Structure 1
């Protein structure tokens, strides 16, 4: 058993390191093939690195590249993650940022098009896919993710407002530097990036599940063996057709766990009635695995 656990842990490490490398390639493609030719700014720390590179380009002073700025801006956030989140999380976040910086530097810009709308949409879609893939495999891409996870761990609250304000600053900077139409193009990119990331990273999407069954104990045991979820049991329900006694079970899962739920139901009661409501809001405790 110990040997299997070591093999599984080693497999996870290799998978996460590979994902960090893939993310680095994808963000470099987004940056060098689309954002830079189209004069589009990304979100978060990456967008800030782009902004600082633009502002220092014609000053005759030290002119660091976007790749170097991306790494430098993340250094204090690595320290924060190491102290507040976890060493393993910090290691893979560090790898993701390092691979991103290296690939952005090595992969030379290719101007496929300078159309800002195309560059905003395709750059954001590629970056959103890479970010979602990274998050799905349990690693962060650095930047505001670290601040968000730290704040959520300490207070239980998200930093949605801080994210929006920071990205609004990036959008306004794009307008001030390149012209106000580019502010709208960058805003379009942020929307596409968020939508694609949500499509790939489904762990944060909550779903309410209602199960009507006559085998409640079997269903409860099987679900809880597949995933760590609390279940509310309502006894005394009655079927309207045959007037037989039923039990109703309520739980909330993430979209990421939908396959596990289906496997648990097929194993415990394949004839149960299961209703799933998407995009529910949660108040109270909802278990999320540590990064």
Structure 2
């Protein structure tokens, strides 16, 4: 019970800190690079920028990006609640709320007037925030929710899925405001998606091979805490000690690796563990709800 409690508290603090980090990074990218450089961001943030720009003509009032961003996320949060997971959605609501608040309170400031510089650095900062959020098991909202839903069904990488959705959004921006803005925004989306895939490693799978004298306690911990199946090979023998051992094989995600290490150090610190990275899996492999 203490092991479960310690891991749960650690995950809670990690998710909360990731929400704060993403909120700050997204606000910095938007208010210091995208808005001053007239570059449209990726995903729902870019769509919120479009609606904010059009709001003067539509309703005669300039709606803040923070407000349009929150309103556009509401239907997607409903999708996440029913199709991805309830805990995932709760943290996403927190992340979207914090992001809107920081976007509202951090003032716009022009660091550079060159739209290419704004596109590259803004995209890198935004991609860092998205990747860190996803790696911590939360979503930044918007098209990330759609991307995660499709990835659960198809196994495709999040960055590549987002690239398709975001391409549609910037084409709309190009039609409405000028094609030069579309090209700057495409550069932003490309940089952001590459940084996201570089940081977000949950989609990478690892094979853990465990040589242990205490297979039952290890199997129970992996079942209860990581919800992972384990293949058991009995009657293994140590080549030097000639002691009977048990060989356990399991597949985990990169995001579960730190948790896995903590479990092994706690339940069987003398076990020998080897890790193979980026393995391919055929058959049923269920990822958690995040």
TM-score tier, shorter chain, comes to: 0.7 to 0.9
1:139 aligns with 2:135: no
Q: Which residue is equivalent to 1:53?
A: 52
TM-score normalized with structure 1 length:
0.75
Give the structure 2 partner of residue 187 of structure 1.
186
Shift of 1:103: 1.5
Q: Distance in 2 between matches of 1:254 and 1:282?
A: 11
CA distance in 1, matches of 2:47, 2:138: 21
Q: How far has the Cα of 1:127 moved from its partner?
A: 1.5
Matched residue, 1:112: 111
Q: Render the CA deviation track for 1:183-210: whole Å, top value 9, x for unaligned.
A: 3332222222122223333212223457
Conserved in 1, the CA contact under 8 Å of 2:123 and 2:188? yes
8 Å CA contact retained: 2:48, 2:65: yes
- Deviation for aligned residue 1:108: 1.4
The separation in 1 between residues aligned to 2:132 and 2:60, in whole angstroms, is 38
Q: Identify the residue that residue 276 of structure 1 maps to in structure 2.
A: 276
Instruction: List per-residue Cα deviations over 1:169-224 (Å, max 9, x = no partner).
Output: 1232343345434333322222221222233332122234578x6x6x65796477
1:2 Cα deviation (Å)? 7.9
Structure 1 residue 163: Cα displacement: 3.8
Report the 3-state secondary structure (helix = DSSP H, G, I; strand = E; otherwise coil) of the residue aligned with 1:169: helix
Is residue 288 of structure 1 aligned with residue 287 of structure 2?
Answer: yes
Q: Secondary structure at 2:175's aligned position in 1?
A: helix
- The answer to whether structure 1 residue 66 and structure 2 residue 62 are counterparts is no
Question: Which residues in structure 2 correspond to 1:151-230 (within 5 Å)?
Answer: 156-157=153-154, 163-208=162-207, 222=218, 225=221, 227-230=226-229
How far residue 41 of structure 1 moved from its aligned partner, in angstroms, is 1.7
Query: Quick check: 2:88–2:289 contact (8 Å CA) kept in 1?
Result: no
- Where does residue 31 of structure 1 map in the other structure? 30
Give the direction of change, closer, same or farther, for the CA distance of 1:60–1:51 in structure 2 (3 Å limit).
Answer: same
Q: C-alpha distance in 1, partners of 2:31/2:12?
A: 29
Paired residues of 2:215 and 2:246 also in contact (CA < 8 A): no
CA distance in 2, matches of 1:200, 1:117: 23
Q: Which runs of 5+ in 1 are unaligned?
A: none
Gaps (5+ residues) in structure 2? none
Deviations 1:110-162 (A, max 9, x none): 00002222211211221122222222332221112333445666xx3368686
Shift in Å at residue 91 of structure 1?
2.5
RMSD of aligned residue pairs (Cα, Å) = 3.9
- State whether structure 2 residue 251 is matched by structure 1 residue 252: yes
Partners of 2:40 and 2:175 lie apart in 1 by: 12
Moved more, 19-28 or 84-93: 84-93
- 3-state DSSP of counterpart to 1:252: strand
Instruction: Give CA-to-partner distance per residue, 1:222-268, whole Å, 9 cap, x none.
Output: 4773554445567999xxxx9x9x99875433223445666749945
Contact 1:207/1:252 (<8 A) preserved = yes
Structure 1 residues 152 and 122: CA distance shift in structure 2, 3 A: closer
Question: Is residue 100 of structure 1 aligned with residue 96 of structure 2?
Answer: no
Alpha-carbon offset, residue 76 of structure 1: 1.7
1:34 CA displacement: 0.6
